[in-house]
Amino acid sequence: GNSVTQMEGPVTLSEEAFLTINCTYTATGYPSLFWYVQYPGEGLQLLLKATKADDKGSNKGFEATYRKETTSFHLEKGSVQVSDSAVYFCALGYNTDKLIFGTGTRLQVFP
């Protein structure tokens, strides 16, 4: 069946460090891929998405490229800030039918 696997956290970085959070998926057909972010005390928010192979989603300095050949959608940011500290979820879905989420990766950024 369809599934998402993402790296375990927490990921601990100093401010301005480079961030990579790995995400791989197993799916039939051509799902859309998403990164959601959950800040402390808040609901899930869509960070970025990509709907087809080789698409790059980007938002707030974060990027992820839909790689069908490696079934991956790794999240990257060139320079993290303390305010990026949150839990990040990779997910897949088909035309906004149910989303299938990974287990989440907690990012902690220290000044």
Partner 1 sequence: DTGVSQDPRHKITKRGQNVTFRCDPISEHNRLYWYRQTLGQGPEFLTYFQNEAQLEKSRLLSDRFSAERPKGSFSTLEIQRTEQGDSAMYLCASSLRLGEDAEAFFGQGTRLTVV
Where would I find the beta strands (DSSP E) of the chain? 3-6, 11-14, 19-21, 23-26, 32-38, 45-50, 56-59, 62-65, 75-77, 86-93, 100-101, 105-110
Assess 74 for contact with partner 1 (CB under 8 A): no
Which of 42, 69, 70, 111 is the binder for partner 1 (CB under 8 A)?
A: 42
Residue whose tokens read 């369809």? 2
Nearest of 58, 55, 54, 56 to residue 46 by alpha carbon = 58
Assess 53 for contact with partner 1 (CB under 8 A): no
> Between 17 and 36, how does the x/- string for binding to partner 1 read (CB under 8 A)?
---------------x---x
| Residue 94 tokens, joined | 């088909």
24 secondary structure, DSSP code: E
Assess 102 for contact with partner 1 (CB under 8 A): yes
Residue positions counted in the chain = 111
Task: Between 19 and 57, name the residue whose CB sits nearer to partner 1.
Answer: 57
Which of 33, 104, 107, 109 is the binder for partner 1 (CB under 8 A)?
A: 104
Assess 12 for contact with partner 1 (CB under 8 A): no
Q: Which residues bind partner 1 (CB under 8 A)?
A: 4, 32, 36, 42-46, 49, 51, 89, 91, 93, 95-104
